[in-house]
Amino acid sequence: MTEATGQRAAELRDRLVSELVNAGHITSAAVEAAFRTVPRHLFAPEVSVEAAYADDIVEIKRDERGALISTMSAPSIQALQLEQAEITPGMNVLEVGSGGYNAALIAELVGTTGQVTTVDIDPEVTDRASRLLEAAGYSRVRVVQADAENGVPEGAPYDRILVTVGAWDIPPAWRRQLAPSGRLVVPLRMKGVTRSLALEVEDGRLVSRSVGICGFVRIQGEGRHDERMWLLRGKQVTLRFDDAVPSEPELLDGVLAREPVAAWSGVTVARAEPFGTLPFWLMTTLPGFCLLSVDPSDGGPGVAVEPGGRWFPFAAVEGDSFAYLSVRPSGNEGRVEFGAHGYGPHGGQVAKAIAEQVRQWDRDHRHGPGPRYEVWPADTPDDALPDGTVIDKRHTRVTISWPHAGILAPNRAVQPVDE
């Protein structure tokens, strides 16, 4: 690397970190110092220095079908998880998912008195991480090639476990290998929607302390869980079911041939305004919640949208009909109105149900703290669980509880799909 390249990298690194601080992604002096110290470009030799310091992912590996299976996450997402973890000097930290750069950031946070272990199932990924960590001066990070479903018992207990791949469940090994006062930060997928949860042990279960919006490549190995899909129009329009599939999905065949019916909520948001709790409110109140995928490359939008509006992937199926969240321009410039478009004989009813839940979210939860997430052992009886929605997984039962008892969704278990 030339002196000019090194100077350019330092300038870009400082600019990136300042942007992350100004945007609120970095909130602590310790995380800021780690980001200003670790040379991100040394962990991204596949791309330019400019690309290495963009707030975007860096691709590491794709599978034989071309799907991404390993990336270096965007800096803003890495900052989110590190802030959630609250790592301090001297801690023993396990990272699940190895890219190298994030492990180096953790090494800066734990200091010379702490320990960092990073584990990945793919030997190509761990070989790459080992090589880059060594070259960047972080040989003290221990790199392990293994299926993280079993954690890394050598070196446990860990004060922090950071999972940097999307997980569908929390295997018992992670819980066992967490120190009594430890914290697990994990991007957990719940009915298709992922959130980064900072979890701590409390009375035998894991309880959320903070929640962040995120996106990660999915975990491989024994912990992998594939969605079930129902194609509505070739490969262009698909409904994705993460936990439970309708008993008769074939009733939806040909549903897109009907004219859509729209229902509008009267609830508006600014185009750039976040609404991260809305998907979870819909998830916990709408039977048949699923995700809608549309590939517009086959020609046309695939599903109905209003002029100047857009569709969102959050949908619900009821028998022979379904509807999905959408927006249209409102009367106020720069704002859009939430609603839904429905297809099928009862699509209008499903769309109205979505619109009604948007109104209830706006009235009761839009400006609130959001739900409480708890992760219980799989053998926990129903009467020991809090009010709310229950999502049953292989190893755990996840509960999502909203803060106002009078308007909680009913306790409703979602059974897992057999692998």
DSSP 140-198: TSEEEES-GGG---TT--EEEEEE-SBBSS--HHHHHTEEEEEEEEEEEEETTEEEEEE
Name the one residue in this structure whose structure tokens are 């800021």: 32
Q: What is the DSSP letter of 218?
A: B
What lies within 8 Å, CB to CB, of 94 at 6+ separation is: 117, 118, 119, 151, 152, 155, 156, 158, 160, 161, 162, 177
Helix (H) or strand (E) run with residue 5 in it: helix 3-22
Q: Residue 63, CB half-sphere, CA atoms under 13 Å: how many?
A: 8
Residues with catalytic roles: 73
Q: Tokens for 400, please give them.
A: 């999502």
Q: Are 324 and 301 in contact (CB under 8 A)?
A: no
